[in-house]
Amino acid sequence: TQTIILKNRPEGKPKLSDFEFKKDDAELNIDDGELLLETHYVSVDPYLRGRMSDAKSYVDPFEVGKPIHSLVIAKVAESKNENFSKGDYVRGMLDWKTKQVTKGEELTKVDSSKADLSAYLGILGMTGLTAYCGLTEIGKPKEGETLIVSGAAGAVGSVVGQIGKILGLTVIGIAGTDEKIEMLKSKFGFDAGINYETTDDMKSAIADAAPKGIDIYFDNVGGPISDAVLFNINKFARTINCGAIAVYNETETPESISVRPFLIKNSASMQGFIVSNYEDKFPKAMKELTTWLNEEKLTYSETIVEGFENIPQAFIDLFDGKNKGKMVVKVS
């Protein structure tokens, strides 16, 4: 069994040396009620960066010297638990280990005949639910409005934009390469895209792309991109504060423009969002996401990295924008 542990808390951007691999040749045996799981796909997500710090947050930090965990798709290799059979595929918050024993609590079965297994970590998993619940519950979209999405080519953003189109919005995406901007328009149906890496004046570029102004801002990145968006909001605009990857690696509190005047003069709102607070909406969200997928109104991209040993690098690569859509590591 191989395990990845948090060796030390990253300073700034995470480095490979913040992680340690451990190998154990002991055979894993299970007792009554337990399962032996083989890891198949591991989700790497920007929010894990927060858990690597010891700052107080909405989830407890990882412990130094202990395994890191995230959402994982695993196969049941052996079962002494009546709720699961050998060969079942399950999803759960599991350790970064090639094999592990669990009691099966908080695991859900996933159906490999209905969708690719990796999709249960993305569009049919946490990031799909984040896109759906954030946009519908806080964004409160109305047909004809203009939506702008930052981190638009990522797992959450690419789904937000597509849902926006399904709901009759004009959708603008912000991302970091021309290739991603092209994908937003050709694959995901966005109306326009802005490459923040090659655009000097984001404030004007957004104004040009959104002649009617911005009604909804789905914010995945924070930082200067978000400041530029807020110059362009309309009366009663809604901002969904979903993520702030641009500042996750900051070691000091970043300075930013004061957004208050923009909110006041536009009677606009800005609301923090954590997907786990919307669990009561998940059944409806899953139903709609699945229907749209089956009807081909919704599609998705994945960047699949091969190999357990590449999990830390895949995680670090999120901060360099190496992924298109959901970043997933395929273990076996």
Residue numbers at the binding site for ligand NDP (CB under 6 A) = 45-47, 126-127, 130, 151, 153-157, 175-177, 180, 220-221, 223, 225, 242-246, 273-275, 318-319, 321, 323, 327
Q: Shortest approach of ligand NDP to residue 62 CB, angstroms?
A: 15
Q: Shortest approach of ligand NDP to residue 253 CB, angstroms?
A: 16
Cβ-based nearer residue to ligand NDP, 121 or 268 = 121
* Pairing relationship of beta strands 19-23 and 2-6 according to DSSP bridges: antiparallel
**Residue with the CB atom nearest ligand NDP in the bound state:** 154
Query: Rounded to an integer, what distance in angstroms lies between the CA atom of residue 326 and that of residue 153?
Result: 9
CA dihedral angle for residue 6, residue 20, residue 155, residue 74, rounded to 10 degrees: -100
Q: Shortest approach of ligand NDP to residue 144 CB, angstroms?
A: 26
Query: Rounded to an integer, what distance in angstroms lies between the CA atom of residue 301 and that of residue 267?
Result: 36
Rg of the chain in Å (alpha carbons): 20
Q: Shortest approach of ligand NDP to residue 285 CB, angstroms?
A: 13
Cβ-based nearer residue to ligand NDP, 46 or 161 = 46
Cβ-based nearer residue to ligand NDP, 97 or 180 = 180
Cβ-based nearer residue to ligand NDP, 5 or 126 = 126
Q: Shortest approach of ligand NDP to residue 214 CB, angstroms?
A: 17
Cβ-based nearer residue to ligand NDP, 104 or 173 = 173
